[in-house]
Amino acid sequence: MRTCPGFRTALRTLATALALLTAASPGMANTLTQNVSWIIDRADTPVGYRLVAYGDSLYSGYNGSVAYAAKYSAPVVDGEYLSAAWKADIEVVRRTKTGAVASDIYYNKVVAERSYMQAAHTRVVALAMCGNDALQARTAFKSQTGTCDYSGLAAAVNTCRTYLAASMDFINANAYPGVKLKIVSNVYYPGFDADWALSSCRDATTGTPVNMQTMFLGWVARLNFWICRIAWEKNFQCADNFGQYMAVDYDSNGDGIVDSEALRYVPGEDEVSYYNRITRTLHDTIHDANRHLTSRTSSADYIQSDDIHPTYTGETVRAGIFGGTSGVGPPRHTSPTKSSIWNLYGTERMGWTLSTSNPAAP
């Protein structure tokens, strides 16, 4: 059967799209670039500043599509808060790769695309990495049989520390000198409830399977400790997504602190203290983010149906297999205080968490 060249081109495009969709799945080594530039345009001012976000799907607005991403990803939400506080237009530039491990983000985003943070109107540089290193290590552990090997989990933490520190050093050395805020986001624990199961491998000491949720929680605690500790050491702020996603928005244990705030990393805290606080003292306040209690009677779903990526609201924009895109639009709200939906979707909560470190003026 003969086919026309246009039909063959269409088939190749479709095949590429399907391959990229598979590559963007959790635990895979391949990645899906999703770059978007979006200008938040206020009607009352021509002044503009830039927020640059380097990272993975935490910032990309990934929604399962190879061609589109959520317009209101966490950096854009933060941009709206900046726009309101500064009474200025804000250009939010996402240089992101869904599925990318820390080394990929360092070499191919932070370093290769440094020009975006070097522009004279840049005021905020945000960073998100290490989540896919963790997802891949978790997937590999779950496939083990025989004696459990924990070295892959430890390696993921060490790799994160290496490339996170390198990324922060590079940003400190190369970002425009007028940047007012450098901030990193730590990782929440997707699939928390699903991990309440025994491993297929057996611990070498006890000879029995391990409870994966218990084991992974301690491991995530160590990962998040180093994300926030390195940030503190290198003059970055740390946006604590773990606490904001994984605990309720009221004081459930009577310690006088709202649970989602109690889990926050304390600047200067040592690893043992943080680990014990997360895995022991406050362990019973940690819950799956698929049902985040915003009050004692209301809840919100922060995780998409894939049990990994943040939920979002609003339109999508082209970003992916056919390249990035740019656009402009008005802010959805014009007050620097919490929006009416700040705690109803994953990206809205993450964007608000970023905004709590925003400087008062550009």
pLDDT at 262 over 50: yes
Question: Could you give the 3-state DSSP secondary structure of residue 268?
Answer: coil
Residue 321: pLDDT band (50, 70, 90) is: low
- The position carrying tokens 């600047």 is 267
Residue 16: pLDDT band (50, 70, 90) is: very low
Q: Which two structure tokens, joined as six digits, stand for 233?
A: 């050491």
What per-residue confidence (pLDDT) applies to 6?
45
Residue range 57-95, pLDDT digits in tens:
999 999 999 899 999 999 999 999 999 999 999 999 999
pLDDT at 8 over 60: no
User: What is the rounded distance in angstroms from the CA atom of residue 326 to the CA atom of residue 35?
Assistant: 9
* Mean pLDDT, residues 97-115 taken together: 97
DSSP summary character for residue 125:
E
At a CB cut-off of 8 Å and minimum separation 6, what does 277 contact?
Answer: 263
User: What is the rounded distance in angstroms from the CA atom of residue 219 to the CA atom of residue 115?
Assistant: 35
Indicate the angle between helix axes 74-86 and 346-355, nearest 10 degrees. 40
What per-residue confidence (pLDDT) applies to 323?
62
pLDDT at 10 over 80: no
User: What is the rounded distance in angstroms from the CA atom of residue 104 to the CA atom of residue 21?
Assistant: 18
Q: Which amino acid is at 356?
A: T
At a CB cut-off of 8 Å and minimum separation 6, what does 70 contact?
Answer: 61, 62, 63, 312, 314, 316, 317, 347
Average pLDDT, the chain: 92
Buried b (16+ CB within 10 A) or exposed e, 185-221: bbbbbbbbeebeeebebbeeeeeeebebbebbbbbbb
C-alpha distances (whole Å) from 46 to each of 28, 118, 196 are 43, 21, 52
Question: Could you give the 3-state DSSP secondary structure of residue 155?
Answer: helix
Superfamily of segment(s) 5-355: SGNH hydrolase (3.40.50.1110)
What are the backbone angles phi and psi of residue 173, rounded to the nearest 5°? -85, -25
pTM of the complete model: 0.91
Q: Which two structure tokens, joined as six digits, stand for 53?
A: 């976000």
pLDDT at 302 over 70: yes
DSSP summary character for residue 105:
H
Residue range 155-198, pLDDT digits in tens:
999 999 999 999 999 999 999 999 999 999 999 999 999 999 99
Buried b (16+ CB within 10 A) or exposed e, 150-162: beebeebbebbbe
Would you give the distance in Å from CA 265 to the centre of its chain? Answer: 16
What per-residue confidence (pLDDT) applies to 221?
98
